[in-house]
Amino acid sequence: MVGGFCLEALLERPEFQPVISLARKPLAVAHPRLNQIETNFNPAPDLGRLENAAVFCGLGTTIRKAGSQERFREVDYVYPMRLAEAARKAGATTFALVSSIGADAGSSTFYLRVKGELQQSLRGMGFRCLHFFEPSFLTGEREENRLTESIGIAVAQATQFLLIGGLRKYRPIEARHVGRAMVAAVLREDLGERLYRWDEIRRLNHA
């Protein structure tokens, strides 16, 4: 869902050309600057040469949809790492990742631990710019129905006025805002590692 909005924002900006989409199924999008590559990331495709390119990663699933922790880890850790490795080999210098609030390689929660391990691994890959986006609940229309998550979003939206100060980062946010913020962040060309949560994502959307 975030990836779709990110792609939309990329195609609006002539600074990004060509725009290469790597997805597990064809996208219902056509644009003269868009080159679609269908892949299951097993292995990641050869990207050729992409000197100084920026890579935007929105790969992710849920344990319930994946069916097991092993399959979840494959989609949320192994595939993004394969993408990152292929990108670095091709010459990419910037990597922007949709992660999760609470991502921590030392977390006792499997989901958050995998997210944190991915961020930790990416730090050692030599990217000049790393952008980690850590939203809480994502709102917007999904292709599949996630009942438990939908309930969580509804509760979070109803109580978000209570999430102030340091708790603001747990407020739900539109997937559209995250996707567009990814493009805005990369255009700033900040070096090093940057972390974006609710406040930072909202600011990027209004910059």
CA-to-CA distance for 197 and 203, rounded, in angstroms? 10
Query: Do 136 and 172 form a contact (C-beta atoms < 8 A)?
Result: yes
What integer pLDDT is reported at residue 166 of this predicted model? 75
Confidence of residue 66 (pLDDT cuts 50, 70, 90): very high
What mean pLDDT comes out for the span 64-77? 96
What integer pLDDT is reported at residue 146 of this predicted model? 55
CA-to-CA distance for 74 and 78, rounded, in angstroms? 5
CA-to-CA distance for 130 and 105, rounded, in angstroms? 17
Tell whether the model's pLDDT for residue 89 goes beyond 90.
Answer: yes
C-alpha closest to that of 85 among 115, 124, 129, 131:
124
What integer pLDDT is reported at residue 107 of this predicted model? 98
| Helix (H) / strand (E) containing 69 | helix 69-73
CA-to-CA distance for 6 and 176, rounded, in angstroms? 8
What mean pLDDT comes out for the span 3-30? 93
DSSP string covering 5-17, please? Answer: HHHHHHHH-TTS-
Please state which of the ranges 22-36, 79-93, 118-132, 162-176 shows the lowest mean pLDDT: 162-176
DSSP state of 45: P
CA-to-CA distance for 19 and 34, rounded, in angstroms? 5
CA-to-CA distance for 107 and 94, rounded, in angstroms? 26
Query: Do 179 and 138 form a contact (C-beta atoms < 8 A)?
Result: no
Helix (H, G, I), strand (E, B) or coil at 57: strand
Tokens 């977390």, residue located: 107
Check: pTM over 0.75? Answer yes or no.
Answer: yes
DSSP string covering 11-53, please? Answer: HH-TTS-SEEEEESS--S---TTEEEEE--STTPPP----TT-
CA-to-CA distance for 195 and 204, rounded, in angstroms? 12
CATH architecture of 2-205: 3-Layer(aba) Sandwich (3.40)
